[in-house]
Structure 1
Amino acid sequence: MRFTLSIFLSIQLVFFSCVENFSFESDDEEQALVVEGFITDISYNDAIFLPMDARNFEIRLKMSSPVINVQDQPVLYAEVKLYDDLGNCWDYTDLSTNLRPGVYALMNDDFSVQQDRMYQLQIVLGDGRQYESGFESVPAAIPAGEIITQQTVRPQLLEDETTIANVDGLSLRYKLDPSARAPEESHYVWDFTTTYGYLALSNQDNSSPVRKCWMTTVYDHSQITLVDNVQEELDYELLFFDVGHQWLPEGISLLISQYSVSKDFYQFYDDIQAQEQQSELFAPPPFNTSSNLYPVGHNSPVIGFFQVANQNVYRWIFSPEMLDFAIPYPEWMRAGCDALPPPECFDCTLATPPPRGYLVRDKPEWWID
C-alpha cells in the first residue's frame, strides 16, 4: 500500500539535496566539515511534560565536497564539547556505537540554555584538527501566540502535474497577541513533524494490538518557514494542509516547533534558500553561505551554523469537527486491501514507514482520539 502526505509550506527549504549521488575519487577537491546542531531553552526533562517526544540535543558531523557527485561521509571519533561564558563545560557522546554514525548527543537531561549566558561549540576531529563557533547569546524570549485553524478551498496542482483544481484544506495560522510586545526585529523559524494513525483495514478486531499504529515523519533537515522583522501584530500562515486526499480518518497531528533565532542564523538559512532556488535539486553543499564556525590553527573549510535559540512547541491534532464534511477512506486505500491484500492490511506493524520516519504500535501519550 502507498501513503501520501502533502504539506504545502509557505517556504520550504532543504539544507542539502536528499538525492544520493555516485562517488568517484577526487584528490584535487578539499573536503569541508559540515556541522548541524542547536540548543534551546527546552531540556529533555522539560520536553517530557510538553506535547512532544523528549530528545537530547544533537550535533551532526560529516565531511562534504564541492564536487556534486561525491557522497558525504559521517565524521567518526570526534570530540565535541559545549562551553558557556563562565567556563562551564558539557561533553557530547558519540552515538556511532548506536548505529548513528556522525551523530553526537548531549546526554544531560537537565541541560537547557539560560537567558543570561553565551555558548560556544568546540570540535576536535580524530586527526587533531580543531574547530569552534563564536560565543552565541540567547535571542529574546518568544512572545505568546496561538495556532488558528481555518477551513478553506484553494487551487492546487494535482498529482498528474498538469491539472489545477480546487481542493479542500485547512490553513494553519500563527497569531501573535497584539498586547504582546515583540522585539523591534525578531527572526522566527518554524519546523514541522507529522504523525498520523494507520489502520490495518482488513483487521476487524477492535481489541487487536496490531490493528492500529502511528507513523511519524522524521527529516534530517526540517521543512522550514522563516519570518523576519516581526512586529507587534502578526497573523502569519504557517502552512496550508490539503485534506482532500489525505490519510485523515484515523487522525493526524503536527508538532510545530517555533524558534526565536539570531539575525545571523536567519541569514544562514536565507543563503541556503537562495542557493537552492538557483541550483535546484543538484546543488552542491552551500560552500559560500554565512557561518559562525571557524577552523582553529589551520585553513580547512567548515560549513554550518551552531544556533542557540528560544523554543515554543504547539501540538496540532486534527479533529473531524474542524470540517463540515465527512472524510471517507480514499478508494485506492480500500482497493489495496481487497483482492490478495498485503500483510499490512492485517497487521499495522508490517506497514512501511515514510522516508526517514518510524512506526510505533503504542499510542503516543499526547495523542487524542
Structure 2
Amino acid sequence: MILTILVGQSCIEEFDASFEDFESAIVIEATVTDINEFQQVRLTRTYEFEADGPSAETNANVSVNGGGVVYEFVEVSPGIYNSVLEFAAQSGVAYQLHITTQDGRSYSSSEENLPAVIGLDRLYADRITSDLGQEGVAIFVDSSDESENTRNFRYEYEETYKIIAPDWNNFELKSTGIECGVDVIPKTEQNQVCFATGISNDLILASTADLDENRVERFMVRFMDRNNYIISHRYSIKVRQYTQSNASAAFYNALDQFSSSESLFSESQPGFLAGNVTSDLNQNEKVLGYFDVSSVSEQRIFFNYDDLFPGETLPDYVNPCMEIAPMLISQGGARCVLSAMVDANQVSYLDLNEDPPAEQGPYLVVPRECGDCTVLGANVTPEFWTE
C-alpha cells in the first residue's frame, strides 16, 4: 500500500491513495441463537478502499450441523442466507458452520457451544447530558448473573419511531399533461402518519471480567440528542443481549479496535483478524469473520417525547418545510415549472395561493416529505406497536 499526503503551510492538499496486490477474501457474519427463529448467515467479500462497498457472495451452499442434524440455508437476497426451517441452539450441543461457494471453495468453522443464558434484567430510557455536553435521551440496560458463568455481552438494537408530516393535507396535486396544468385532487392514500425502522451498525460490547460482580449496570447502548427528530413523537427500541464465549468476545473486541462505524467486517483494516472459520482446501487462504453461537435475551420499550421533556418544544422536523409558489410556466414559456415538480414527486400541496403576484403560481407547496410521510417511512403500523 502506498499513501501520499502533501501538506502546505496554509492548506491541505488532496489525499491520494493507491493499493497494490489487493486480495479479495470471503467475509462471514453468522450468529446462531437459542431463539427459535430463522437463523441467518451473511456472506460478502472484502473490497478495496476506492470501491463503493462489499460485494455479495451469491449462490453458495450454507449449512449448520449440530447434534446429528443438518440445518440447510437458502439465499433470500444477495449474500443473505436464512435457514430453511426455524431452529434454536440447544445447550450441550456443538454446532459447526459449513459453506461451499459457487466456485467450489469450501469453508468450515470450529465447533461452538451455547454459552449460559443470561437474562436482560432491565431496558430503560433516561434523560441525560452526555460527556460531550449534549442533552438527550440515553437507552440503558441492566443485567446480572450470580453464577458468573459468562462475563461477555454484545448488544444490537432495532428502533422504530413515529413520523407525522407537519404540513399534511387531504389533497394533492396531479399534472394534467396539458399546457403545464395541474389539478387539486383528494388523496387516496394515508400519508400523514408513518413509521420508520433502523438497526444498530456499531459493535456494542460489554464485559464484567474486570469487575467484582458479574453485573452490567446502567450500560448505555444508544444515545440520541434531544433535537433528533426521530424522538419527536413516539419511539420504540428493541435491544438484544448476546451472551458470548471468551473466544467470541476476544474476536469482537479485536474487530472493534480495527473497524469504524461504516461496516462491521468488510472495510479496510490495518492487518488481518483471524476468526474461527478456515478454508477446507487451502489453509493459507484468508477468511474473515466468525461463527458465533449465542444465548439471547431481548426487551422492547416505548416512550413519548413528552415523557422525558414534558411541555417542551418538539425537535425540528427533518426538513424546515419552506413553502413556495412555483409558476405554472417559466418566464418566456420555455418550460413547465410546477407540473414538472409534481411529476418528479418533489413537492406536496399545501394550499391555494390567493391573489399571487406575477412571479408566483396559484398553489402553495412544500418539500414532499413535509406533507407525505411515506418519503421517510411506511404508512403501515407495525404489529408490535402500542400507543
TM-score, with structure 1 as normaliser: 0.73
Aligned residue for 1:336, secondary structure, equals coil
Q: Deviations over 1:51-94 (max 9, x none)?
A: xxxxx3221112225x533553321221111101x321011102
Alignment of 1:170-185 (within 5 A): 170-176=137-143, 180-185=145-150
* Equivalent of residue 169 in structure 1, options 130, 136, 140: 136
* Equivalent of residue 69 in structure 2, options 88, 92, 98: 88
The CA distance in 2 between the partners of 1:261 and 1:170, in whole Å, is 28
> Is 2:204 the partner of 1:224?
yes
The CA distance in 1 between the partners of 2:272 and 2:366, in whole Å, is 51
Amino acid at match of 1:367: W
The CA distance in 2 between the partners of 1:224 and 1:92, in whole Å, is 27
The CA distance in 1 between the partners of 2:17 and 2:99, in whole Å, is 27
* Equivalent of residue 216 in structure 2, options 234, 247, 253: 234
* Equivalent of residue 75 in structure 1, options 39, 45, 57: 57
- Asked whether the equivalents of residues 189 and 260 of structure 1 are also in contact (C-alpha less than 8 Å), the reply is yes
The CA distance in 2 between the partners of 1:296 and 1:137, in whole Å, is 21
Residue equivalent to 2:94: 118
Going from structure 1 to structure 2, the CA distance change for 1:174 and 1:182 (only over 3 Å counts) comes to: farther
- Asked whether the equivalents of residues 126 and 308 of structure 2 are also in contact (C-alpha less than 8 Å), the reply is no
Q: What runs of 5+ residues in structure 2 fail to find an aligned partner?
A: 1-15, 171-187, 325-364
Which is bigger in relative contact order (C-alpha 8 A, separation at least 6)?
Answer: 1
The CA distance in 2 between the partners of 1:197 and 1:118, in whole Å, is 42
- Asked whether the equivalents of residues 271 and 290 of structure 1 are also in contact (C-alpha less than 8 Å), the reply is no
The CA distance in 2 between the partners of 1:193 and 1:23, in whole Å, is 36
The CA distance in 2 between the partners of 1:23 and 1:82, in whole Å, is 40
The CA distance in 2 between the partners of 1:330 and 1:239, in whole Å, is 22
The CA distance in 2 between the partners of 1:123 and 1:212, in whole Å, is 44
The CA distance in 2 between the partners of 1:240 and 1:130, in whole Å, is 38
Aligned residue for 1:267, secondary structure, equals helix
Query: How many residue pairs were aligned?
Result: 307
> Is 2:237 the partner of 1:254?
yes
Aligned residue for 1:217, secondary structure, equals strand
Residue equivalent to 2:339: none
Going from structure 1 to structure 2, the CA distance change for 1:285 and 1:250 (only over 3 Å counts) comes to: same
Give the structure with higher Rg (CA): 2
* Equivalent of residue 107 in structure 2, options 108, 131, 152: 131
* Equivalent of residue 297 in structure 1, options 281, 294, 302: 281
TM-score, with structure 2 as normaliser: 0.70
Amino acid at match of 2:273: T
Going from structure 1 to structure 2, the CA distance change for 1:115 and 1:155 (only over 3 Å counts) comes to: closer
The CA distance in 2 between the partners of 1:101 and 1:208, in whole Å, is 32
The CA distance in 2 between the partners of 1:346 and 1:216, in whole Å, is 20
Q: Deviations over 1:90-126 (max 9, x none)?
A: 111023xxxx2111111213x1111121110001111
Which ranges of 4 or more aligned residues in structure 1 deviate by more than 4 Å? 22-26, 280-283, 331-334
Q: What runs of 5+ residues in structure 1 fail to find an aligned partner?
A: 1-21, 45-55, 157-165, 353-358
